[in-house]
Amino acid sequence: MQKPAEARNPPALIVCGPTTSGKSALALELAEMLGGTVINADAMQCYAGMAVITAQPGPEDTARAPHRLYGVRDPAQAADVAWWREAALAEMAQARLPILCGGTGMYLRALTQGLSALSEVPEPARAEARALLAERGPEALHALLDPETAAKLRPGDSQRVTRALEIQIATGRGLAAWQREAPVLPPAPWDFSAILLDPPREALRAAIAARFDAMLAGGAIEEVRALLPLDPALPAMRAHGVPELRAMLLGEMTPAQARERAILNTGQYTKRQATWFRHQALVAPSALHMIHARFAGLAQFSESEQEKLVTFVRNAVDAASRQA
């Protein structure tokens, strides 16, 4: 009697990379091609009322393919990695082919490698906390911590305060909450393949400036004005462009200064993002495809490059689907 083939997990695609690398455009084309559902894996795009400033998909995009977990969270409520993981798994279960799209590495790692209270903090979060420490000092960082964590740490203990802020930035939750609950979640039961967009720095710099100007024209200032009553320490208030436009609205920066600072800060963040993704094994090497260009549509590639990308995706989906 022939032994039945071992069942495999269902397939899921990941489209990841730094901000403005073209992730959303690629995920949309793949969703149309394969009948997939685009599921947000960006910590800031989950917030409501911030569609322009966080570059969430517009009506034209959502008409072409289903999109989930965009604009679903009140910015007054911190969106943490545990919440996102649970919400993403619920959406994945309803999708014919889940296509996870975003640049929040901690979120993606929580799916592919599991989640624990002491998971490694992504480099972008560590770099942000270190920069804040250098700029403001440990006492100011201590004031940014959630009350429960802050009560357990001395304001002058720069090492522990910075570590706590790293975790809070990366996950949206305080260190004390992680320590109290100590959740340990296994890797999600899906067969993941990933496409990493890793375009040249100059391509990202140009895209960042163009996007910010388009955001200004599209209503970003009005969105940030509506956020002014919120606590500036909330995760949503760290979205690219929000701190600078908030400072402009409060009279602390001129429009030109806000634009220059926002573009500069976003560029520095994308550099950290790109470095983090290059050094993280979200999936096995055989399940990873890299594109060293900013994605603006399949038509930008030669016929052979298009065929290589499409073949990788179809093979990844078919291999898992045959035995799911």
Range of the domain at 69: 11-114+186-321
Boundary of a domain, candidates 132, 150, 181:
181
Q: Are 313 and 30 in contact (CB under 8 A)?
A: yes
Is residue 6, in this structure, part of any structural domain at all? Answer: no
Statement to judge: residues 105 and 245 lie in one domain: yes
pLDDT of residue 173: 82
Distance CA 278, CA 7 (A): 31
Distance CA 265, CA 294 (A): 19
pLDDT of residue 3: 41
User: What angle do helix axes 242-249 and 255-278 make, rounded to 10 degrees?
Assistant: 160
Q: What is the mean pLDDT of residues 169-188?
A: 78
To the nearest whole percent, how much of the chain has pLDDT over 90? 71
Statement to judge: residues 241 and 268 lie in one domain: yes
Q: What are phi and psi of 2, to 5 degrees?
A: -70, 130
Distances 170 to 108, 235, 252 between C-alpha atoms, Å: 12, 9, 27
Asked if pLDDT for residue 324 goes beyond 50, the answer is: no
Is residue 138, in this structure, part of any structural domain at all? Answer: yes
CATH number at residue 135: 1.10.20.140
Asked if pLDDT for residue 63 goes beyond 90, the answer is: yes
Statement to judge: residues 171 and 211 lie in one domain: no
The total number of structural domains that make up the chain: 2
Statement to judge: residues 86 and 191 lie in one domain: yes
Boundary of a domain, candidates 163, 181, 199:
181
Secondary structure E strands in the chain: 11-16, 37-40, 67-68, 98-102, 115-116, 184-185, 191-197, 288-291
Asked if pLDDT for residue 158 goes beyond 90, the answer is: no
Q: Which of 209, 215, 204, 269 is nearest to 245 (CA)?
A: 215
Alpha carbon 271 to its chain centroid, in Å, reads 14
Q: What is the pTM of this model?
A: 0.82
Statement to judge: residues 163 and 286 lie in one domain: no
CATH number at residue 241: 3.40.50.300
Alpha carbon 107 to its chain centroid, in Å, reads 7
Statement to judge: residues 176 and 227 lie in one domain: no
Distance CA 255, CA 94 (A): 44
> Which residues on adjacent β-strands are paired with residue 37?
98
Statement to judge: residues 177 and 295 lie in one domain: no
Residue that the structure tokens 């993403």 belong to: 88
Asked if pLDDT for residue 139 goes beyond 60, the answer is: yes
